[in-house]
Amino acid sequence: MTCLLISGMIMAQESIDIRIPLTGETAPSFKAESTIGPINFPKDYYGKWKILFSHPADFTPVCSTELLELANDQESFKELNTQIVVMSTDSKNSHIEWISSLEDLTYKGREIEEIDFPVVADDNLNISKTYGMIHPNSSSTRDVRGVFIIDPDDIIRAMFFYPMATGRNLEEIKRTLIALQLTDKENIFTPANWQPGEDVLLPAPATKEAADRLADNRDPKLTSLTWYIWFMKL
pLDDT in tens, 102-135: 999 999 998 887 899 999 999 999 999 999 998 8
Please write the tens of the pLDDT for every residue from 169-223.
999 999 999 999 999 999 899 999 999 999 999 998 888 888 888 888 778 899 9
Question: What is the per-residue pLDDT for 5?
Answer: 42
Task: Sketch out the chain's domains with CATH numbers.
Answer: 22-168 (3.40.30.10), 186-234 (no CATH)
The model scores a pTM over 0.85: yes
pLDDT of 69 above 50: yes
Of 52, 63, 144, 159, catalytic: 63
Taking the C-alpha atoms of residue 53 and residue 91, their distance in angstroms, rounded to an integer, is 16
The answer to whether residue 63 is catalytic is yes
Q: Yes or no: say if 134 and 73 are a contact pair by the CB < 8 Å rule.
A: no
Range list of β-strands (E), 61-205: 82-88, 106-107, 110-111, 119-121, 145-150, 156-162, 200-201
Percentage of the chain exceeding pLDDT 70:
93
**pLDDT recorded at residue 140:** 75
Contacts with 186 (C-beta within 8 Å, 6 or more apart), sequence order: 200, 234
**Euclidean distance between CA atoms 71 and 66, whole angstroms:** 9
